[in-house]
Structure 1
Amino acid sequence: MALAAVPGIFVANSGVLPEYQSELPYSGYVKWYETAHIPDWMGAKPGAITAAWRYQSLDPNRELPFLVTYKYPDVAAQSAPEFMRVTLNHPSLPEGGPINKFIKIDILAGSHVETWRSGSTGDARGPLLVTETIQPAANTTKSFTDWYQSTYITELSLMDGWRRTSRFDVGGGKWFALHEFEQRAFEANTTRIGGLLGKRSEETREVERTATSVKLAIWELVRVYGDAKDSWGLPGTDSIL
């Protein structure tokens, strides 16, 4: 019997290395990525990726300002050999590439766990995104999940402009979340998020205090590829708050 498909995410966060920024200006990198690489990656294995969302960091000093999130209807497809054959060369790149000579890239991949959304939220993604990577204290998976589901998501939902939160298991005891917001949710000059968004409870402060690492960043949605309304989880499984 075939295993049921498990939806998942592939996240690529990248930027041009300082020593190559004169050879490959960021604008040139963006053009290559948006017009060549994303279409190549999405087309490598038909049906393996249904949508991609391209974000730009709001922090002008962020080392890796370029972010793409890809929706895989089945995470098993991420290991398909077709993706290994995607070219990293292009005439628009210095020396014709390969691109990995000129950039730094951080990658995360994992399975969808759960999504919550506001009752007034449609399927389109929010214009602002806060990414959150948490490595909680060792041996706290159950208590962490209980906190997330019973406390943290409530705190998030009370924030003005909150649209949707999707959580993913990216392995090694680490969790990754996408928090979508309306434009009004943050001040126009906000460029950096320092810690967990929900700080109304002692439980949240304790998770942040004891976690091995907590990383947050704020982004603006720039471009969508494929099905812009594709949900991260299985259809109809979002929890409505």
Structure 2
Amino acid sequence: MAFPLVGSGPGIFMPNSGVLPEFKDVFPYSDFVHWYETVHIPDWLRWKPGAITSAWRYQSVDADRDWPFLVAYKFPNISDLSSPDYITIPLTNPMLPEGGPISKFTHIEAVAGPHIETWRSGSTGDDRGPILVTEEIDPANVTTDKFQEWYRDVYIGEVSAMAGWRRTSRFDNGMGQPRWLALHEFEESSFGPNTTKIAGLLELKRDLSVQV
């Protein structure tokens, strides 16, 4: 099946995943990571020539997070994610327990959508920051125009002033709610509460409901 995605143009697909608790004995997280990095990501990159130009893999800094594994796939045209041939990506492999399918042993949550805008610190090119803070945004009791104005004129100024900030990219969530997605990238050397506690900036501003 294809993803029910709304939107086109450059965009990003981000599946967040991990091993289900009842299968951690038969499928240790280290085995999951090895399969994902050596088999599954290459399968995605081969799936449709030119559909994905880059993939970045992240590990949650929260050791207790249920779904600590995150991959960000960069699409020149995110509408390719709705292609019916998506089903050709293999879900079975000898490296998996019982040979798979992977869906039996893991939980996956995904967001995806077209790119809206990016703010950069200097000239970073396409190099990713080693620390990534993902943000899911649902404005509450404010109009879209007012939210856009606040985000661009106030919030980005506060985020970009944080030590080690490298780049922020915002996306329209073409898969539904939350309404918008944002990726904040930081230098590893500056990792700490002053650079990654993005939720603190949003706590009382403009009546926004935010998940970070």
Tell me whether the two structures share a fold, i.e. TM-score over 0.5.
yes
Percent identity of paired positions between Structure 1 and Structure 2 = 55
In structure 2, runs of 5+ residues without a counterpart are 1-7
In structure 1, runs of 5+ residues without a counterpart are 217-241
Aligned residues: 203
Partner of 1:183: 188
Partner of 1:211: 208
What are the residue-to-residue correspondences of 1:5-16 with 2, within 5 Å? 6-16=9-19
The runs of 4+ residues in structure 1 deviating greater than 2 Å are: 120-123, 184-187, 193-199, 204-207
1:156 touches 1:197 (CA, 8 Å); kept in 2?
no
* TM-align CA RMSD: 2.0
Amino acid in structure 2 at the alignment position of 1:76: S
Report Cα offsets for 1:45-100 as digits up to 9, x if no partner: 00000000000001000010000000010011111122111110000111100000
1:60 aligns with 2:63: yes
1:125 aligns with 2:115: no
CA distance in 2, matches of 1:165, 1:108: 17
CA distance in 2, matches of 1:108, 1:123: 21
1:56 touches 1:66 (CA, 8 Å); kept in 2?
yes
User: Does 1 or 2 have the higher relative contact order (CA < 8 Å, sep 6+)?
Assistant: 1
Q: Any idea what SS the aligned residue of 1:111 has?
A: strand
Q: Any idea what SS the aligned residue of 2:70 has?
A: strand
1:131 touches 1:179 (CA, 8 Å); kept in 2?
yes
1:159 touches 1:185 (CA, 8 Å); kept in 2?
no
2:136 touches 2:178 (CA, 8 Å); kept in 1?
no
Report Cα offsets for 1:131-189 as digits up to 9, x if no partner: 111111155211111111111111111111000000001044611111000112223xx
Q: TM-score, normalised by structure 1?
A: 0.79
Partner of 1:107: 110
Partner of 1:144: 147
1:155 aligns with 2:158: yes
Q: TM-score, normalised by structure 2?
A: 0.89
